[in-house]
Copies of this chain bind each other. A is one copy, B any other.
Amino acid sequence: MTNSTLIKLSEQLTFGGKQIRFKHSSKTLNCEMQFSVFLPEQAQTEKVPALYWLSGLTCTDENFSSKAGAQRVAAQLGIALIMPDTSPRGDGVADDENAAYDFGLGAGFYVNATAEPYAKHYQMYDYIVTELPQLLEAQLPLSNKRAISGHSMGGHGALVIGLRNPERYSSISAFSPICNPINCAWGIKAFTGYLGDNKQQWQQYDASLLLAATEKPLPILVDQGTADTFWPDQLNTDSLITAAKQHNTDIEIRYQQGYDHSYYFIASFIEQHLRFHAKYLT
């Protein structure tokens, strides 16, 4: 497979590194996609490891770029940040029939859709797992060391993708993840729409089921705020905690008193997440 060409849309200096926005034609998603990358100064002289950040419902590549304050720590640690969009985009891409915020555009849920009319474009799982790393490691100064993290829908994506591909990532983290999507309203709506009614198919995208079924999971760090208005109903953190109890690998799932679902929460703890990943990335 030939990689598509990366077209640079903007480049800005921050913390001595480069914050870059690219677009490219995605073969997996059958549309043009934008994403952002932070390359620390170290990438000028060596290949650096990368943290993939999967954003939540309604987000693009720009929320984490501008609000999390992650570049400061990534610059210190010599880690690149890869910030993809949250769904396929463009006029030809099917959206929710009511343009809802929790399905369709901005809400790809990091699955490979099998149901129509979504299967043609909504292949976010393969895009994140395969196409994007292949493209970036061929064209940017990145090693093949990867970690994965995300927020809310993206926390679900990070857990699912990391647990299913332990050979491709060295560690997983998440903020406020949707831990048990087969048992919450967001997940049921998304999986019904993208995967159809066969609930057997849903299980491969449920972090709590996957963690319970994994023999020796990757190191995991999860933070969940107790003032989060989506917790516990949509997030079901306790399901993940139950699944984690059977393992004696490096898994920490923490409740943070008084924090909500916003980037003010993420900014407060992103340094700890980056330093957690750095232990395994380098």
CB of A67 to closest CB in B, whole Å: 5
From B13, B71, B264, contact of A14 by CB (8 A):
B264
Expressed in whole angstroms, the Cα–Cα distance for A255 and B268 within the complex equals 30
**Residues on the B chain within 8 Å of A268, using CB:** 13-16, 72
Q: Is the CB of B69 within 8 A of A13?
A: no
Q: Is the CB of B267 within 8 A of A15?
A: yes
**Residues on the B chain within 8 Å of A69, using CB:** 69, 72, 267
From B13, B66, B258, contact of A67 by CB (8 A):
B66
Q: Is the CB of A13 within 8 A of B264?
A: yes
**Residues on the B chain within 8 Å of A15, using CB:** 267-268
Q: Is A227 an interface residue (CB 8 A)?
A: yes
Expressed in whole angstroms, the Cα–Cα distance for A264 and B16 within the complex equals 10
Q: Is the CB of A259 within 8 A of B13?
A: yes
Q: Is A19 an interface residue (CB 8 A)?
A: yes
Each complex incorporates copies of this chain amounting to 2
**Residues on the B chain within 8 Å of A66, using CB:** 66-67, 263
Interface residues on A, range: 20 to 34
Over the window 1-27 of chain A, the binary record of Cβ atoms lying under 8 Å from chain B Cβ atoms (1 yes, 0 no) is: 000000000001111100100000000
Expressed in whole angstroms, the Cα–Cα distance for A12 and B69 within the complex equals 17
**Residues on the B chain within 8 Å of A227, using CB:** 13
Q: Is the CB of B72 within 8 A of A258?
A: no
Q: Is the CB of B264 within 8 A of A19?
A: yes
Q: Is A265 an interface residue (CB 8 A)?
A: yes
Task: List 6 A-B pairs, minimum CB-CB distance, nearest first.
Answer: A14-B264, A69-B69, A13-B258, A12-B264, A15-B268, A13-B259
30 pairs, A vs B, C-beta closer than 8 Å: A12-B260, A12-B262, A12-B264, A12-B265, A13-B225, A13-B227, A13-B258, A13-B259, A13-B260, A13-B264, A13-B265, A13-B268, A14-B259, A14-B265, A14-B267, A14-B268, A15-B267, A15-B268, A16-B268, A19-B264, A66-B66, A66-B67, A66-B263, A67-B67, A69-B69, A69-B267, A71-B264, A71-B267, A72-B267, A72-B268
A sample of 12 more A-B contacts (CB under 8 A), given A12-B264, A13-B258, is A13-B225, A13-B259, A13-B260, A13-B264, A13-B265, A14-B267, A14-B268, A15-B268, A16-B268, A66-B67, A69-B69, A71-B267
